[in-house]
């Protein structure tokens, strides 16, 4: 369960192949801007092959978590481990109307815990240098984020070991965001 900033309780579970229709409906509800930030192109339609790839995971080297508001799929976070590696690429997309509610960070926390339990030690992600929200999620995670290159696209890497420092950093952010008058 994820509790949003405005107090809604959202269910979280691993993706299933039967989520294909819900994933397509979710994609159609995303703004062009969110699609561009996720896929780096104006990718208005997911092909059948992409839908099958995105919804069929092995729950070990590839895992996607989906968030539901009632019956509606409202966010996806996933990791894909690079072959024969302890690094996985991570990616997220949250419905526009639900962004800035803490869902992205909640998904990162859950993906990191699941990945660590499966032998993944590090996450990497490529994001547009202008994607302040995605970079904020990474920096707010408390994980030791390192910027690998810093051009139009930024590649970040960070160890996902569940250290006390990382947990403390996230708790601090939660306290800050609950404080009266916080943004
Ligand atoms: C990037 C993305 C996944 C972030 O998801 P999100 O659910 O909006 O992320 P969060 O709400 O956890 O955090 C983002 C910002 O929201 C605000 N926020 C989140 N939770 C908050 C809370 N409880 N109180 C106050 N502010 C909060 C903050 O401004 C935070 O940034 P900050 O720490 O610098 O202040 C989302 O914006 C998205 O889907 N974008 C389009 C796709 C994309 O860019 N994907 C990335 C490619 S990998």
CA 94 to ligand 1 center in whole angstroms: 8
Q: Give a yes or no: residue 183 inside a domain.
A: no
CA 30 to ligand 1 center in whole angstroms: 15
CA 38 to ligand 1 center in whole angstroms: 13
Q: Give a yes or no: residue 161 inside a domain.
A: yes
Please give the pLDDT value at position 183. Answer: 46
CB of residue 102 inside a 6 A radius of ligand 1: yes
Confidence of residue 177 (pLDDT cuts 50, 70, 90): low
Count the Cβ atoms, other than its own, within 10 Å of residue 157: 16
This prediction's pTM: 0.91
Note every long-range contact of 32-39, with CB atoms under 8 Å and residues 24 or more positions apart, other chains counting.
Answer: 33/96, 34/93, 34/94, 34/96, 34/99, 37/127, 37/128, 37/131, 37/134, 38/91, 38/92, 38/93
Residue nearest to atom 27 of ligand 1 (CA): 100
- CATH number of domain containing 174: 3.40.630.30
Q: Give a yes or no: residue 173 inside a domain.
A: yes
CB of residue 154 inside a 6 A radius of ligand 1: no
Chain segment 112-150, per-residue pLDDT in tens: 999 999 999 999 999 999 999 999 999 989 999 999 876
Q: Give a yes or no: residue 100 inside a domain.
A: yes
Confidence of residue 166 (pLDDT cuts 50, 70, 90): confident
Q: Give a yes or no: residue 75 inside a domain.
A: yes
Q: What's the domain range around 28? A: 2-178
Q: Which atom of ligand 1 is nearest to the CA of 173?
A: 33
Q: Is 24 a residue whose pLDDT tops 90?
A: yes
Q: Give a yes or no: residue 49 inside a domain.
A: yes
pLDDT above 70 as % of the chain? 95
Q: Which atom of ligand 1 is nearest to the CA of 30?
A: 41
Q: Give a yes or no: residue 57 inside a domain.
A: yes
Count of domains for the chain: 1
Q: Give a yes or no: residue 141 inside a domain.
A: yes
Mutate to test the pocket of ligand 1, among 94, 98, 132 (most ligand atoms within 8 A of CB): 94
Average pLDDT over residues 52-78: 98
Average pLDDT over residues 1-29: 97
């Amino acid at each position: 369960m994820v509790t949003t900033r405005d107090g809604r309780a959202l269910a979280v579970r691993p993706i299933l192949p039967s989520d294909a229709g819900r994933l397509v409906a979710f994609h159609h509800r995303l703004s062009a801007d969110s699609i561009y930030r996720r896929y780096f192109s104006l990718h208005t339609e997911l092909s059948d092959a992409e839908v099958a790839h995105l919804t069929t995971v092995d729950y070990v080297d590839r895992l996607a978590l989906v968030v539901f508001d009632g019956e509606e799929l409202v966010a996806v976070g996933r990791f894909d481990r690079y072959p024969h590696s302890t690094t996985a690429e991570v990616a997220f997309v949250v419905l526009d109307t639900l962004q800035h509610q803490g869902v992205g960070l909640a998904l990162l926390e859950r993906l990191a815990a699941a990945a660590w339990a499966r032998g993944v030690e590090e996450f990497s992600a490529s994001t547009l240098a202008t994607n302040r929200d995605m970079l904020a999620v990474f920096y707010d995670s408390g994980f030791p984020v390192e910027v690998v290159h810093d051009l139009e696209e930024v590649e970040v890497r960070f160890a996902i070991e569940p250290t006390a420092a990382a947990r403390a950093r996230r708790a601090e952010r939660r306290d800050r965001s609950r404080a009266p008058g916080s943004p």
